[in-house]
Amino acid sequence: MQYIRYEEKGKIAEIVLNRPDSYNALNEQMLRELENACVMAADSEALIVLLRGEGRGFSAGGDIQMMTSEHDSGEYERLMKMIESITLTLYDMKKIVIAAIHGAAAGLGLSFALCADVVLAEENARLAMNFIGIGLVPDGGGHYLLMRRVGEIEAKKLIWSGEKLPAEKAVRLKLADGLFSGDPAAGAKPYIDRLLHAPLSAMIETKAIYQSLHISRLKDVLSLERKAQENMRKTDDHKEGIRAFLEKRTPQFNR
């Protein structure tokens, strides 16, 4: 795989977003590789999965070139199904999933991180559900995953504002579960070490019970997001958001 590194070490599987020159922005090939890595992790003997990014940050979200490319309805459907597959596999795998965020975790990158059971943030990290800046709505289950952590009212505020949350504020809002300093692999190690001395099978059974109660709701949200995103891609606001991003200026929406 070119953009994803996958490695198993005993009870631990590690999935590394590895497109550092593009801030781990998720293009179609990277999404395909990530989908494969998630399936490999789900099928493995590992009981703990660490998801992290290489380079300066976790992920800047969806690649802007992917967003500006023309997709027919079949291509768009295939892309969204791949995103949904990643979300559902990460969310529902019978492992303890840890996301260790450093730098930026934005847009789709943050949606994927929030699939984890435990979200750790480097003390200088920034978390943003910032689809609004380009006239889109969250996908990858972002609506549901954000709401389950911070509640509907706060989730709407964060989605509508696109606020870049400092790591400490993210922890206060319970969007993240703890802080670390330095390298994400090293930062996650103390938590992983504690898990290795815990009754993991019992913990995973508890997770499975909770996930079974909510998986149908997540699937419903993913379906709604797919339809909404298809509609938003056709709007003048989205076109203006993309132009403004490429021209490095503030978008002028609803002109």
pLDDT at 75: 82
In sequence order, what DSSP letters do the residues of the chain get, joined into one string?
A: --SEEEEEETTEEEEEE--GGGTT-B-HHHHHHHHHHHHHHHHSS-SEEEEEE-TT-SB--B-HHHHHS---HHHHHHHHHHHHHHHHHHHH-SSEEEEEE-SEEETHHHHHHTTSSEEEEETT-EEE--GGGGT----TTHHHHHHHHH-HHHHHHHHHH---EEHHHHHHTTSSSEEE-S-HHHHHHHHHHHHHTS-HHHHHHHHHHHHHHHHHHHHHHHHHHHHHHHHHTTSHHHHHHHHHHHHTS------
Distance CA 5, CA 212 (A): 29
Q: Tens digits of per-residue pLDDT, 43-69?
A: 999 999 999 999 999 999 998 877 666
Q: Which fold has domain 4-182?
A: 2-enoyl-CoA Hydratase; Chain A, domain 1 (3.90.226)
pLDDT at 49: 98
Q: State percent of the chain over pLDDT 90.
A: 84
Q: Tens digits of per-residue pLDDT, 13-30?
A: 999 999 999 999 999 999
pLDDT at 65: 77
pLDDT of 71 above 70 = no
Distance CA 190, CA 20 (A): 25
pLDDT of 179 above 80 = yes
Output the pTM of the full model: 0.95
What is the domain partition of the chain in residue ranges?
4-182
Q: Tens digits of per-residue pLDDT, 117-141?
A: 999 999 999 999 999 999 999 999 9
pLDDT of 72 above 70 = no
pLDDT at 64: 80
Q: Tens digits of per-residue pLDDT, 233-245?
A: 889 989 888 888 8
